[in-house]
């Protein structure tokens, strides 16, 4: 299954959010289909207000975040442009502190989730005995779009080294008109492609900056650059992320087949 959506077409779903933990706005790009079998991909852009602290928290499904604008700190680490952060279910992370310009990031899940559980207030909801994992990565440096356009061939930079679970992340830069291939997802639990600069040409149409595409396990999406070139972040979920942890619980980590 391949789905894609532009930010422009999604702005009608922009939500202003103001609560004790978060102030800012969120735009839903890919909305999980209620009642559909997993995976049920979810993608939304979060724009966190300047100088705001989102407390340490956890979620019930596997999650990537891709930081696309602004800056701040995640835990003790400075947020870098196009940095990626992965957290497994019930893995607490944060706080996420936005800088003077705020910070914007795409939240990406292979199976949609709602809400957050804050620590230490909701520690009793945290499943302590399951394996937990986080992974981080960021490009070595920035590349303006004219430099991408001047590349003689596509460049692939690894942000999270692929492992035997399927977890991985890359940043891909492709000159105009060229195509870069990543093999169809086999080991992993599906991928998201986040366009940062330029555009991605796909059978479903042109995908400009901050558009996202979901590529399910076993599918392949040729990463063809538009007229100005393409810079995109590709995140790949571990195989177990294609099932819902919230619905199946620790059986996923134990290797128990899903019913």
Q: What distance in Å separates the CA atoms of residue 36 and residue 12, rounded to the nearest whole number?
A: 24
Per-residue tens of pLDDT for the chain, all 259 residues: 899 999 999 999 999 999 999 999 999 999 999 889 999 999 999 999 999 999 999 999 999 999 999 999 999 999 999 999 999 999 999 999 999 999 999 999 999 998 899 999 999 999 999 999 999 999 999 999 999 999 999 999 999 999 989 999 999 999 999 998 776 555 679 999 999 999 999 988 999 999 999 999 888 888 999 999 999 999 999 999 999 999 887 765 554 333 2
Delimit the domains of the chain by residue range.
Answer: 2-137, 145-239
Phi/psi of residue 212, nearest 5 degrees: -130, 150
2-137 and 145-239, same CATH topology: yes
**2-137 is a CATH 2.60.120.10 domain:** yes
Q: Which residues pair with 155 in a beta bridge?
A: 173
Classify domain 145-239 at the CATH superfamily level.
Jelly Rolls (2.60.120.10)
- pLDDT tens figures, 25-62: 999 999 999 889 999 999 999 999 999 999 999 999 99
């Amino acid at each position: 299954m391949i789905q894609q959506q532009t930010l422009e077409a999604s702005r009608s779903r922009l939500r202003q959010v103001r609560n004790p933990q978060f102030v800012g706005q969120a735009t839903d790009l890919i909305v999980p289909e209620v009642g559909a079998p997993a995976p049920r991909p979810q993608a939304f852009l979060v724009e966190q207000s300047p100088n705001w602290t989102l407390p340490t928290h956890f979620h019930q499904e596997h999650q990537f975040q891709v930081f696309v604008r602004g800056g701040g700190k995640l835990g003790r680490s400075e947020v870098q442009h196009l940095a990626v952060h992965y957290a497994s279910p019930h893995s607490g992370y944060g706080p996420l502190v936005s800088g003077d310009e705020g910070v914007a990031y795409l939240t990406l899940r292979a199976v949609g989730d709602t809400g957050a559980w804050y620590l230490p207030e909701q520690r009793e909801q945290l499943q302590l005995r399951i394996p937990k994992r986080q992974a981080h990565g960021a490009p070595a440096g920035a590349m303006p779009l004219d430099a991408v356009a001047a590349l003689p061939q596509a460049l692939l930079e690894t942000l999270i080294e692929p492992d035997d679970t399927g977890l991985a992340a890359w940043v891909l830069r492709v000159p105009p008109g060229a195509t870069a291939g990543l093999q169809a997802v086999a080991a992993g639990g599906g991928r998201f492609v986040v366009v940062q600069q330029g555009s991605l040409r796909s059978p479903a149409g042109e995908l400009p900056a901050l558009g996202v595409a979901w590529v399910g396990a076993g599918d392949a999406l040729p990463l063809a650059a538009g007229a100005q070139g393409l810079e995109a972040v590709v995140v790949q979920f571990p195989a177990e992320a294609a099932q819902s942890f919230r619905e199946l619980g620790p059986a996923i980590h134990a290797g128990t087949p899903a019913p």
